[in-house]
Amino acid sequence: MRLQSKDAKIYVAGHRGMVGRAIWHDLQDAGYTNLIGRTSDELDLRDPHATRDFFEAEQPDFVVLAAARVGGILANNRYPADFLGDNLAIEQSVIRAAHEVGVDRLVFLGSTCIYPKHAPQPMPEDSLLTGPLEPTNQWYAVAKIAGHKLCQAMHRQHGDDMVTLMPTNLYGPGDDFDLETSHVLPALLRKAHEAKSRKPSGSDVPVTLWGSGEPKREFLYVDDLADAVRFVLETPEEEIREVAPDGMLNVGVGEDLSINELIGLIQDVVGHEGPVEHDRSKPDGTPRKLVDTSRMESLGWEAQTPLRTGIQRTYQWYLDSINS
Ligand code: GFB
């Protein structure tokens, strides 16, 4: 059932993360007054009993499942048990509890790394499970595929209204800037900023990229994802099922660029003029993962934030966070 009433109780799981926070603020700005969230200290979503107790006490009408263990290519490779195990446990607890208390709709957030490494580009939703996964993030991908499949199974077996959004690589304010665990965009913003700051002119300090810089990625500003989540929450179920019988909707911007092109844009925003070097001991990961966004477009949604604008806002947030 779609979201209509401004006082419907909406549980945003993971509301302190970059994605959950953006969703929370977007819903608040749109006039929704009855949002609930719990920090991971207050509620460990991997614990099915605690999660079930929370759902029974709160009886949310809508759930957005944005809680997940996430990270960049290196973190995925280093902590496979956490990326697979924690995400499976969170999905199992939250999706089951939502089913048991009978929520009106659950929106689950997946990731476009669920698609095969060599899927056709742009990747349509029905390329899921048509080929082998990219090895560096297979653990996370398997967990996200399982989460989507659990939603699909709940719909098929019980008629539950559960929808999965598959966002492409996300970035924005509140992102992880730790160079060991982050995704590429915040990592390169930080590296370019630190290289620029090292000398007054900054002109001769290099920035080092991981891998060849040739892989292509599509970047979605986190506020655009939040907008897409609200758009889907507010769309009637029949309309969603008509374009997405499997309950899956890609969310992207429709264009990608290489990491070598991305660093050029970031250097421009940051004002770094030094050279770019490559650390080829680090993995490239999947060569390309542009998503086919025609399902969301046919429902009437598209992303609004140009990449340069999103990078400028993210850089400003980073500067504020290191100066505060
Ligand atoms: O964003 P990223 O870590 O993850 O890396 P994925 C994207 C590309 O940027 C890879 C390159 O080719 C990296 O080698 N890269 C260059 C860098 N310099 C850097 C750097 O300093 N830091 C990082 N992190 N990358 C993730 C998955 O894949 O995408 C997750 O691991 C998830 O599971 C996420 O699906 C959306 O795009 O390769």
The pLDDT assigned to 200 comes to 63
CA of 263 to the centre of ligand 1 (A): 13
The pLDDT assigned to 202 comes to 52
In the predicted model, what is the mean pLDDT of the chain?
Answer: 96
Active site members: 140
Which residue's CA is the nearest one to ligand 1's atom 14?
A: 284
CA 144 to chain centre: 11
Task: Say how far apart CA 2 and CA 40 lie, in whole Å.
Answer: 28
What 3-state DSSP class applies to 304?
coil
> For the chain, what percent of residues have pLDDT higher than 70?
98
Q: Dihedrals φ, ψ of 288, to 5°?
A: -160, 145
The number of the ligand 1 atom at minimal distance from the alpha carbon of 188 is 21
**Res. 204: pLDDT tops 90:** no
Question: Would you call 229 exposed, middle or buried from its count of C-beta atoms within 10 A (0-12, 13-18, 19+)?
Answer: buried
Task: Say how far apart CA 178 and CA 134 lie, in whole Å.
Answer: 23
> For the chain, what percent of residues have pLDDT higher than 90?
96
Assess whether the C-beta atom of 215 lies below 6 angstroms from ligand 1.
yes
122 cis-preceded (ω within 30 degrees of 0): yes
Task: Say how far apart CA 176 and CA 120 lie, in whole Å.
Answer: 30
The number of the ligand 1 atom at minimal distance from the alpha carbon of 185 is 1
Assess whether the C-beta atom of 137 lies below 6 angstroms from ligand 1.
yes
Assess whether the C-beta atom of 149 lies below 6 angstroms from ligand 1.
no
Least confident segment among 109-118, 202-211, 215-224: 202-211
Length of the chain: 324
Which residue's CA is the nearest one to ligand 1's atom 15?
A: 210
b/e per residue 122-150 (b: at least 16 CB within 10 A): bbbbebbeeeebbebbbbbbbbbbbbbeb
Name the CATH superfamily, with its identifier, for domain 10-172+220-254+289-304: NAD(P)-binding Rossmann-like Domain (3.40.50.720)
Pocket test for ligand 1, best of 18, 19, 73, 289 (most atoms within 8 A of CB): 73
The number of the ligand 1 atom at minimal distance from the alpha carbon of 191 is 21
